[in-house]
Amino acid sequence: MTETLNALKQADPEVFEILEAEDARQHDTIRLIASENYTSRAVMEATGSRLTNKYSEGYPGKRYYQGQAYTDRVENLAIERARELFGADHVNIQPYSGSPANLAVFYAMLEPGDKVLGMGLPFGGHLTHGWKVSFSGRFYDAHAYAVDETTETIDYDAVARQAREIRPKMLICGASAYPRTIDFERFAEIAREVDAILLADIAHISGLVAGGVHPSPVPVADIVTTTTHKTLRGPRSGMIMCTSEHASAIDRAIFPGLQGGPHMNQIAAAAVAFGEALTPDFKHYAQQVVDNARVLADALQSQGLRLVTGGTDNHLVLVDLTPRGLGGRAAAIALEKAGVVVNSNSIPFDKRKPFDPSGIRIGTAAITTRGMGEDAMRQIADFMARALDNIDNDDTLSGIRSDVEAFCRDFPIP
């Protein structure tokens, strides 16, 4: 990275040193954070472009500042590519990230105190789906559905019964820690039955949807939100897709309702990422993400680890460490010492506290982008099992880290 940051190196050696160290960390470790990925150099260049300098309050053709000829072009291009990629009627590409996108949907479609029904955070949902510590749980009458205690998967009949009882104004589907395919059509049936707006949050799986390896909610949901990073492999930003009926309300909620000037550098980078996602190479990547996750899941089970739901259909694997007598936080710390980066995560019906839950969450998007395939997944499972078997032995963990660094040299980052 040094050759591209010469100005920074001269102007601020301290920040330059930090970024160089982070670059080395990302190269020398196996990054299994399910919400992380590597962007292309083209996306990085657009993110760091001179559009960082531009203020563009409003929408294309109706801005409140002059000098918008090129910002309008790049925003329209991002919208056109997103519509082609997902088949959406309307796209708003201005949300700063996924949580602000969800906030905008609440602001546009609901009044404070309205009832919402979303997947509970302990069962794989997201904070912004109505959890009590979030705005969505504080300002709205939020209810949560769980997963089946035996199968650890969504019981759609139980969700339907709960929706009939609650009669929410908005039903939310999508998850941040659910390793199985989501039946969006079934959620749409439930929403129609109780006359609820259906919001599908596909932040984690949008790249899989774009690549055709996960069903899309766009044809059946009223509103779809996503980040543009994670499996979609773009910049850190957000997006809302919706039917034409809700376009005006969504746009007004973003601006002037919740945001001022959009981050045009992020929008330009998203346009680049959407262009990449329209290529056959991206479809191959998306399929490999899913294939890698399944192989990694099988390999971890062969190493004696218990997986929530017994496996995965997407990019995500959730490991229950209860049979090992380990907490997720201690396991994540030990794995990082060994060069394998994961996050601790609650499992369904977890008896441990959220800061030190019973599970760890694993994702295969970043390692797939590096070119790792199925043989690499089996090697990663071996690294992880060795580390978890030696969680208190720093010498062994250090030795595994050396092995990991040597392994990573065969898979350069973009």
Residues 250 and 223: beta-carbon distance below 8 Å: yes
Catalytic, out of 29, 128, 227, 369: 227
Binding residue per annotation — 126? yes
- The strand ranges marked E within 41-100 are 58-59, 62-63, 90-92
> What is the C-alpha radius of gyration for the chain, rounded to an integer number of angstroms?
22
Domain spanning 46-277, CATH class: alpha beta
Catalytic, out of 63, 236, 283, 386: 236
Is 243 part of the annotated catalytic residue set? no
Domain positions in the chain are: 46-277, 281-408
Which DSSP symbol is given to 370? T
Low-confidence ranges of the chain (pLDDT < 50): none
Is 201 part of the annotated catalytic residue set? yes
- Dist. CA 119–CA 199, nearest whole Å: 12
Binding residue per annotation — 208? no
pLDDT of residue 195: 98
Burial code (b: 16+ CB inside 10 Å, e: under 16) for 349-361 equals ebebeeeebbbbb
285 CB neighbour count, 10 Å cutoff: 22
The tally of CA atoms less than 13 A away on the side-chain side of residue 35 is 16
- Cis omega (within 30 of 0) for bond into 256: yes
Catalytic, out of 201, 251, 276, 320: 201
Binding residue per annotation — 193? no
What does the block give as tokens for 307? 């997986």
Binding residue per annotation — 257? no
- Dist. CA 118–CA 301, nearest whole Å: 30
Q: What is the pLDDT of residues 85-128, one digit of tens each?
A: 999 999 999 999 999 999 999 999 999 999 999 999 999 999 99
Using CA atoms of 189, 194, 195, 200 in order, give the dihedral in degrees to the nearest 10.
-50
pLDDT of residue 3: 57
Q: How far is CA 166 from CA 6, 105, 116, 139, in A?
A: 59, 20, 9, 17
Is 227 part of the annotated catalytic residue set? yes
Catalytic, out of 57, 72, 298, 374: 57
Q: What is the pLDDT of residues 256-314, one digit of tens each?
A: 999 999 999 999 999 999 999 999 999 999 999 999 999 999 999 999 999 999 999 99
- Dist. CA 139–CA 137, nearest whole Å: 6
Which DSSP symbol is given to 372? -
13 CB neighbour count, 10 Å cutoff: 11
What does the block give as tokens for 226? 């996503």
Catalytic, out of 20, 28, 45, 55: 55
- Dist. CA 175–CA 98, nearest whole Å: 12
Catalytic, out of 81, 230, 337, 401: 230
Residues 361 and 318: beta-carbon distance below 8 Å: yes
Domain spanning 281-408, CATH class: alpha beta
Binding residue per annotation — 125? yes
